[in-house]
Structure 1
Amino acid sequence: MSPTAANFGRGKSLGAALLLGALGVLAFAPFECWPLAFVAWGGLFALVRLAASPGRAALIGLCFGLGLYLGGVSWVYVSMHDVGGMPAPIAALAALALSAYLALFPALACAVLSRAVRRPLAPFAAALVFAALIALSEWLRGWLLTGFPWLALGYSQTPPSPLAGFAPLFGVYGVSGIAALCGALLWNAASSLVLRAHPLAIKHSCALASTLLGGWLLAGISWTQPSGAPIRVALLQGNIPQSLKWEPERLRDSLVTYLALTREHPADLTVLPETALPLLFEHLPGDYLATLRQAAAPGELLVGAPTREPGGYANSALTLGPDGQAEQRYNKAHLVPFGEYIPPGFDWFLKLMKIPMGDFYAGPDPQRPLLLAGQKVAVNICYEDLFPDQIARGAQDATVLVNLSNTAWFGHSLAQPQHLQISRMRAVETGRPMLRATNTGMTAHVTPDGRVADVLAPFTRDGLVATVTGTTGTTPYVRFGNLPALLLAVATLALALLGRRPAPPPAG
């Protein structure tokens, strides 16, 4: 092959990787074409196996990641520019930088896979190595530098995907690895069929079908059991624009809106979203808090508001007593970098984003569940539900999960349905109902099997009243966390690489 043809071929592989990454976005909410995950990640596996060197494979993984994250996390630009007021060029550069950083993780996985197959490796063993590397790289992305596991592959496999059945055992990172394995098996079967290697095509097709069947059978297991009497829960969505929420003259709008919604939706437990009351809790009018509590009576009330703590300001969820005073409290433990805390030397970022109260104090992890309406409620705030191990720790002593979010930061983007899909995975992993109260969407009731029982239309001012039954019992994931998935990935790598075929002897 001439150098020109070789360069053209290399260019096509990078372009194909970029397109496959963009295709992968369609596997996630709001599209939820979960089989496309097998096509996209299977295509990535194929390109890496054909790569001439680990460096080339890393470039393929980088392009795949750029296609995936530039498309799937495009809401970062919306958040910084459209809502946060950051100048467009800086917001675009920041979004590109974040996408490039996230793309480093599939690039690393692809480089290691390419190095592993430098010596002959059976197609099935290569598929196992690929699956293990995807699982490990996504766990690393969810942990390094406080973590950002958005669009982890496993999230694309919420119900009705049969792979959701593996979530109570291995969590989202384990499901990521299994989904990558399915993609690699699909490619192996297709390529064997093209090469007329029919026995191999049947072998890989049977392995793929068995994996899907196994997940479907596991989904039929009830890891947890109903606990206590059903309760009526009102999840309120005020739809207050972020650009107006913190303006002093618009404070009354927030207070009046949530008081009216509370009165209109009586329930055993009423939940207001994150920072629904956009003023330090200590500065809110005492008569308003007492009136709000009275409006919810005889039910109980959970309110999102910033508070002043000994360590600084906190992003809190509070229950109110009859006199409007705080009785129980949860302080957000996993803060958003550059949104809720600013690393040293980045004060300029806070000024560009015009973030009010952008440097919070982190609460302890874990915190005891709140006792509300006869249930033990584990609260998490906004993007804390991206971190499965944290939610699993909180779920151990809880019967219900509640997420309070201010999604107005994301505007009209993919973030809201993607965030709901993340919450659905937390419900499946823990076997607990997940209730979401958000400012602009998506406010929802998610059952323990990850099904959305009811959801409000985004960007509407309304309340969702749901009948909810708490659950007790422990899924394997709640008991052991990410450890089984990580150990299985490491063991798979070791067995596949140690058992690979020896290189043929040199000719001559």
Structure 2
Amino acid sequence: MNDRGMTRLLLRMPAVSALLAGGLTTLAFAPFDFWIMGVLGPMLLFLIWQKTAGPSFRSGFFYGFGLLGSGVSWLYVSIAQFGDLGWLFPLVITLGFILFISLYYGLLGWLARQFDGLSAGLKLVLIYPALWVSMEWFRGWFLTGFPWLQPGYSQLDSPLAGYAPLLGVLGVSWMVLLTAGLLSDLLTGKTGRPWRATLLLLIWLSGWWMTELEWSRPAGEPLSVALVQGNIPQAQKWLPEQLSPSLVLYANLTKKNLDRDLIIWPETAVSAFQFQVEEAFIVPLERLIRESGSNLVFGVVQMDAQRDNYYNALVSLGNEERDHYYKGHLVPFTEYLPFKSLLWPLVDLFTIPMSDFAARQAPKPLMRVGDHTVGMSICYEDAFGSEMILALPEAAYLINVSNDAWFGDSLAPHQHLQIARMRALESSRYLLRSTNTGVSAIIAPNGKLAAVSPLLEEDVLQGEIVPLSGQTPYARSGNLVILLLLLMSLTPALVQLVRQRRG
């Protein structure tokens, strides 16, 4: 299609085109992993903005709706299958959530509109990418944050992954959007094409070069590990009659792997309060682990001494003294209820077990496991890279446990694994991911998958890791550097915009 034909099509259906661009972007993420779509989707949106009346709240909103409507449809699966609410109410809740998150992209379009009087090159190369990544940063913490489907996650297998240890997932996202802006400018710009092509080549070659860099070094002998995936169906997991079969299953699978240095069970693998099974199960298990010379990390629910609060916890067995980690970043409406006095009836409506956890923040998310200090996270906590790097440089490796059984055979388990891969790459540490139903994985420091379990199958994933030391630039500075770069990108445009409006 020639330039005029494309212009006519985009002018005729800009909202539909933006919706399509968002939907196509979903293909860049797991399990599809067509990483090039992570560039082409935003590029199409930029072209829409260039070839129509310009950016708008409407076009940004429709892009977000296309991305999230296809990319987080798994929310419906978790509510409909396990909330026992029929089909209509879960559909309304899912649609409402997608519409709300799409507002962020609408805000992006509105902000981009404010720079409409500036040159196309300035907007495509500096303004649009910087505004977009700023929005992703805001989306990642506002109202506890929902950093799902950030553009950088789609590039784990592309040369742009090399920027992750330097700038984190937001930095990779910036490179994705710079690429989209430069390509859009190459297609529509009349002058300056050589420098745009040169910058584009420099971005990708630099990323490829950085994928070859080593950011950490060995800090001990290799460890043999076993990640136990019990595959307990979510509908049965918290039934009282399921507790004993679950404990027997995990105990038997553990006994077969006592030759391993480390065994890990998933989030709340012990589906009870710890005090309920302490004497009959935990104490004999701890004795067995110590006698074998192995170490065990398992998920359980712990209650405080006053029995006023309970916590989503991890326990480490094997040393003379146990160590514990408590989840600090809880998921709203599933692990705790915002505005509890007003919304408490929703707990009964959703029939979600253990939905009133208390958060227990520690200065650093660390736990002692055997001879090493380890960086810990439970489930959704691994979506927050700026929180996980707090474990560095002390952590010799990372552990994430999760229960993605809520999401069945949907996109969510694969997307969650993709997020965990980014955390390993940002920190240059092995990450051991133990889940109830999959996908469990041993992730190498370069973000590659060293071993992976099947989804929705009982499995024990075995492998070997190396404890590491050292600290990536991103682990040292967090998001500070990328935020400063975004500010530097936007400052010239803001100055020019102010001058224009005063003139």
Q: Would the TM-score normalized by the shorter structure come out above 0.5? A: yes
1:364 counterpart = 2:361? yes
Alpha-carbon contact 1:132-1:177 (below 8 Å) kept: yes
Alpha-carbon contact 2:329-2:359 (below 8 Å) kept: yes
Give, in angstroms, the shift of residue 367 of structure 1. Answer: 3.4
**In structure 2, do the counterparts of structure 1 residues 258 and 298 end up closer, same or farther at CA, with 3 Å as the change threshold?**
same
The corresponding residue for 1:3 is: none
**In structure 2, do the counterparts of structure 1 residues 269 and 115 end up closer, same or farther at CA, with 3 Å as the change threshold?**
same
What secondary structure sits across from 1:329 in the alignment?
Answer: strand
Number of residue-to-residue matches in the alignment: 490
Give, in angstroms, the shift of residue 369 of structure 1. Answer: 2.1
Alpha-carbon distance in 1 for matches of 2:478, 2:362: 15
Alpha-carbon distance in 2 for matches of 1:501, 1:209: 33
Give, in angstroms, the shift of residue 498 of structure 1. Answer: 3.0
Under a length normalisation based on structure 1, what TM-score does the superposition of the two structures give? Answer: 0.92
Alpha-carbon distance in 1 for matches of 2:363, 2:23: 37
What secondary structure sits across from 1:338 in the alignment?
Answer: coil
Alpha-carbon distance in 2 for matches of 1:21, 1:250: 42
What secondary structure sits across from 2:84 in the alignment?
Answer: coil
Give, in angstroms, the shift of residue 125 of structure 1. Answer: 4.6
Alpha-carbon contact 2:48-2:54 (below 8 Å) kept: no
Give, in angstroms, the shift of residue 60 of structure 1. Answer: 0.4
Give, in angstroms, the shift of residue 190 of structure 1. Answer: 2.4
Give, in angstroms, the shift of residue 293 of structure 1. Answer: 3.0
What secondary structure sits across from 2:352 in the alignment?
Answer: coil
Structural mapping, 1:248-397, within 5 Å: 248-266=240-258, 267-296=260-289, 297-309=292-304, 312-320=309-317, 327-344=322-339, 345-367=342-364, 369-397=366-394
User: Which of 408, 414, 420 is the aligned partner of 1:417?
Assistant: 414
User: Which of 207, 224, 229 is the aligned partner of 2:221?
Assistant: 229
Report which stretch shifted further, 239-248 or 8-17: 8-17
Alpha-carbon contact 2:443-2:451 (below 8 Å) kept: yes
Alpha-carbon distance in 1 for matches of 2:37, 2:365: 40
Alpha-carbon contact 1:119-1:502 (below 8 Å) kept: no
Alpha-carbon distance in 2 for matches of 1:8, 1:365: 54
Alpha-carbon distance in 2 for matches of 1:111, 1:265: 56
**In structure 2, do the counterparts of structure 1 residues 42 and 381 end up closer, same or farther at CA, with 3 Å as the change threshold?**
same
The corresponding residue for 1:203 is: 195
Question: Could you list the runs of 5+ residues in structure 1 that have no partner in the other structure?
Answer: 1-5
Under a length normalisation based on structure 2, what TM-score does the superposition of the two structures give? Answer: 0.93
The corresponding residue for 1:146 is: 144
The corresponding residue for 2:84 is: 85
The corresponding residue for 2:131 is: 133
1:215 counterpart = 2:213? no
Aligned amino acid, residue 101 of structure 1: F
**In structure 2, do the counterparts of structure 1 residues 208 and 68 end up closer, same or farther at CA, with 3 Å as the change threshold?**
same
Report which stretch shifted further, 183-192 or 393-402: 183-192
Aligned amino acid, residue 104 of structure 2: F
Alpha-carbon distance in 1 for matches of 2:137, 2:186: 28
Alpha-carbon distance in 2 for matches of 1:433, 1:221: 16
1:459 counterpart = 2:456? yes
1:240 counterpart = 2:232? yes
Give, in angstroms, the shift of residue 448 of structure 1. Answer: 0.6
**In structure 2, do the counterparts of structure 1 residues 207 and 463 end up closer, same or farther at CA, with 3 Å as the change threshold?**
same
**In structure 2, do the counterparts of structure 1 residues 335 and 167 end up closer, same or farther at CA, with 3 Å as the change threshold?**
same
1:438 counterpart = 2:435? yes
Give, in angstroms, the shift of residue 206 of structure 1. Answer: 2.3
Alpha-carbon distance in 1 for matches of 2:500, 2:247: 72
Report which stretch shifted further, 371-380 or 140-149: 371-380
Q: Which runs of 4+ in 1 moved over 6 A?
A: 6-9, 500-504
Aligned amino acid, residue 157 of structure 1: Q
Alpha-carbon distance in 2 for matches of 1:495, 1:434: 40
Aligned amino acid, residue 152 of structure 1: Q
What secondary structure sits across from 1:236 in the alignment?
Answer: strand
Alpha-carbon distance in 2 for matches of 1:249, 1:371: 33
Give, in angstroms, the shift of residue 83 of structure 1. Answer: 2.3
Alpha-carbon distance in 2 for matches of 1:412, 1:108: 33
Give, in angstroms, the shift of residue 412 of structure 1. Answer: 0.8
Give, in angstroms, the shift of residue 200 of structure 1. Answer: 3.4
Alpha-carbon distance in 2 for matches of 1:501, 1:319: 57
Alpha-carbon contact 1:427-1:448 (below 8 Å) kept: yes
Structural mapping, 1:462-501, within 5 Å: 462-498=459-495
Percent of pairs with identical residues: 37
The corresponding residue for 1:105 is: 104
State the Cα deviation string for residues 223-259 of structure 1 (Å, max 9, x = none).
1111111111111100000000111111122111101
1:190 counterpart = 2:187? yes
Give, in angstroms, the shift of residue 49 of structure 1. Answer: 2.8
Aligned amino acid, residue 263 of structure 2: T
Aligned amino acid, residue 64 of structure 1: Y
Alpha-carbon distance in 1 for matches of 2:319, 2:326: 21
Alpha-carbon distance in 1 for matches of 2:466, 2:460: 19
State the Cα deviation string for residues 329-382 of structure 1 (Å, max 9, x = none).
000000000010011222222222211120111011433522223221111000
Alpha-carbon distance in 1 for matches of 2:500, 2:12: 30
Alpha-carbon contact 1:366-1:394 (below 8 Å) kept: no
